[in-house]
Structure 1
Amino acid sequence: MKRSAPMQRKTSLARTGFKRPDPSSAFKTSFHTKTVLRAKALKTRRKRVTVAEGAKYLAACRGEPCYLRVPMVCPLNPNDETVVPCHENSLAAGKGMGIKAAHDRTVPGCFWCHRWLDQGNASRELKEWTFFNAAFYWYPVRNAKMGLEMQEAV
């Protein structure tokens, strides 16, 4: 295969002087009103819930027994040190890809039940039923512990 020679210019590039753009036309193109309005719309985002706002719900789960009590998974140890707040995994609770549900939608669960709820191979309906059953018993206890008025169970 024969290689061809690289292309070369027959004439050199013409040199021109530097000319500044007209200031009035530059201002009009760079700060167009639609562009400014679009940028302003992008800046207005929904306020994200901080950890401090939901910390009281997470703190209420400390020292509690496991409320999920998944059969054949939970050891049912009342003094279990692995109990953590388990967030609801339904779309109705605000859960999404990479987004955790609101902190008020939590129940205390041991390590094994929490793992089953998040990564287990059970059906979504069974997991939702298990969470709602735990929430039915946990929410009145949590509300009394936090001094909140009674709320409807999920």
Structure 2
Amino acid sequence: MKRTGLKRKPGSPFSSFASRATALRRSKIESRMRKPTVSEGSKYLTACRGEPCYLRVPGVCRLNPDDETVVPCHSNLLEHGKGKGIKADNRFTFPGCGACHFWLDQSTVPTKEQRRAATLSALARWEPVRAQKMELTEMIA
């Protein structure tokens, strides 16, 4: 009697699984996708240290230059790579105080347009400062 390869039965609960060839192809595609390294992202985050708040939400921001609650805020805009469970790329971070960061991420008060306007204006103010700051650190290193 000749032996044949294993085949899945049409009504089997496992018949919906992808074939081995498909699984191998998917794993090759995933391994080709380049993910940013920690050191590439950390230079954008360290640039935010010691900076004042750039969000400056009226009525929310403390505008204290010595505020220790200033942290890197990631953009929440889809065009910057934000998705469900995914943060935007580190290039789209800017310094924000704790109160403004809460307003941007968790508060129900602002509309989408207000959040978008605040994010884009903060990025516009921060990008030239960050470029100059990162250029100086690269010259020293």
TM-score, normalization: structure 1? Answer: 0.72
Residue matched to 2:79: 92
Instruction: Tell me the alpha carbon deviations over residues 120-154 of structure 1, each in whole angstroms, 9 at most, x when there is no partner.
Output: 22101111101111111110000001019xxxxxx
Residue matched to 1:113: 100
Q: Does 1:136 find its partner at 2:113?
A: no
Alpha-carbon distance in 2 for matches of 1:47, 1:123:
35
Alpha-carbon distance in 2 for matches of 1:69, 1:100:
22
The aligned runs of 1:1-154 (5 Å cut-off) are: 24-25=3-4, 28-29=5-6, 35-43=19-27, 44-45=29-30, 46-121=33-108, 122-147=110-135
CA pair 29-47 structure 1, distance change in 2 beyond 3 A: farther
Instruction: Tell me the alpha carbon deviations over residues 89-146 of structure 1, each in whole angstroms, 9 at most, x when there is no partner.
Output: 0111111111100000001000000010001221011111011111111100000010
Which has a greater percent of helix? 2
Identity of aligned residues (%): 50
**Largest Rg, 1 or 2:** 1
SS state of the match for residue 100, structure 1?
coil
Identify the range of structure 1 (119-128 vs 46-55) with the bigger mean alpha-carbon deviation. 46-55
Instruction: Tell me the alpha carbon deviations over residues 61-106 of structure 1, each in whole angstroms, 9 at most, x when there is no partner.
Output: 0000000000010010001111100000011111111110000000
User: What RMSD in Å do the two structures reach over aligned CA positions?
Assistant: 2.0
SS state of the match for residue 61, structure 2?
coil
Question: Across the two proteins, how many residue pairs are aligned to each other?
Answer: 122
